[in-house]
A = this chain, B = another copy of it.
Amino acid sequence: MDTALIISNISQQVQAGTETMDFFVSLLEPKSIAKKEYLVRTGDICRYDYFINKGCVKVCYTDKKGVECIVKFAIENWWVVDLESFLHHTPSFYYIQAVEDTDLFQLSKCNYDLLHRKYPVFQQFSNDRWQKGFIALQQRIIQNLSLTAEEKYKHFREKYPSLEQRIPQKLTAAYVGVTPEFLSVLRRRWATAIS
């Protein structure tokens, strides 16, 4: 599998020498999964950190009423992991499932730790990553606190440009936090408002 994307992903964040990058790449395991296959199931321990090279996965949980809620999508050039499970070896609250046929690289916890010990530059990379993730999540909280469903829907389209075309509406609804029926109504309103 082509490592160009993941190398560019790292290089955009930190300065790492060829040797360091070669070592990093040697730790990666390429993997391909079909649509609807799972990377992690609820209750599993999340043993890998994943980088999506092509395709799309969703991070979800099932709420008390049995409804699927989507915490995030990961598409090309995104990293995804259940952090809590990965760090502490605890059963995952989430499941991670492919929305499309997906090519990815996985990095085991063991290699992840090795990498961080051996090359402090990856400490820094991860630090940046969690900081950015933290900022992004904070923004999502704000949206949930003070926006209407329609506004949240618009934000979704800005955050994941063109993803809407790739996935069923049902999944958009599960991410935005509304019922599929109501999302349908919103879209109708939006359409008639334009014309």
Contact = CB atoms under 8 A, between A and B. Distances in A.
A133 interface: yes
Interface of A: 61, 63-65, 67, 69, 71, 83-84, 87, 120, 123-124, 126-127, 130-131, 133-135, 137-138, 140-142, 144-146, 177
Contact of A127 (B123, B133, B142): B123
A145 B144 contact: yes
Mostly helix, strand, loop or mixed at chain A's interface? helix
Nearest to A124: B123
A57 to B, nearest CB: 16
A65 B146 CA distance: 9
A184 B144 CA distance: 22
Contacts of A69: 142, 145-146
A112 to B, nearest CB: 12
Contacts of A177: 144-146
